[in-house]
Homo-oligomer: A and B are copies of this chain.
């Protein structure tokens, strides 16, 4: 719980006193690589704070293809926000790419923490706004940029993930096939100019 503690105390500026109170509301869980922890039709009862490891959220369309919406490594929160907030069935899968350790955060936790601490409420608000900003950038990129540009942007944004995530998943995140990504990389290797 080291990371989660830091998150609460430092980022969300929760006082020692409140911390003791809140920490009781969450549980830690080990998730083996490959384990699915949320699937379509289920309601997303928890947000998953990644203490250690790597999660992903994704959809599978009617023709069986996966499309990755988000990766979450240490200190990130992965969830189907809509499902959790509106208490409606999810359309997403969430599973573990690596053996992971996650902190389960229920809706009640968020509410209570927001009640208790103005800072937490504020921080939560910021997280939402960041999410929106991030999604907007991604939409804009998908609208305007080539596979190569999108890949370069990904490298910039998530340099650490490049080595941890299999290439075909990165392709899925970018909205291209693994074959295409392989070719893009080959091209990029030729003209090395940074």
Contacts and interface: CB of A to CB of B under 8 A. Distances in A.
Contact of A144 (B59, B82, B138): B59
A159 to B, nearest CB: 22
Interface string A109-152: 00000000000000000001101110110111011100000000
A81 B144 CA distance: 21
Identical copies in the complex: 2
Contacts of A144: 59, 61, 65, 67, 175
Interface size class of A (residues with CB under 8 A): 20 to 34
Contacts of A82: 129, 132-133, 136
A69 interface: yes
B142 A142 contact: yes
Nearest to A172: B143
Contacts of A135: 132, 135-136, 139
A85 interface: yes
A148 to B, nearest CB: 15
A144 B142 CA distance: 11
Contact of A140 (B69, B86, B128, B132): B69
A65 B143 CA distance: 10
A173 to B, nearest CB: 8
Interface of A: 59, 61, 65, 67, 69, 81-82, 85-86, 128-129, 131-133, 135-136, 138-140, 142-144, 172, 175
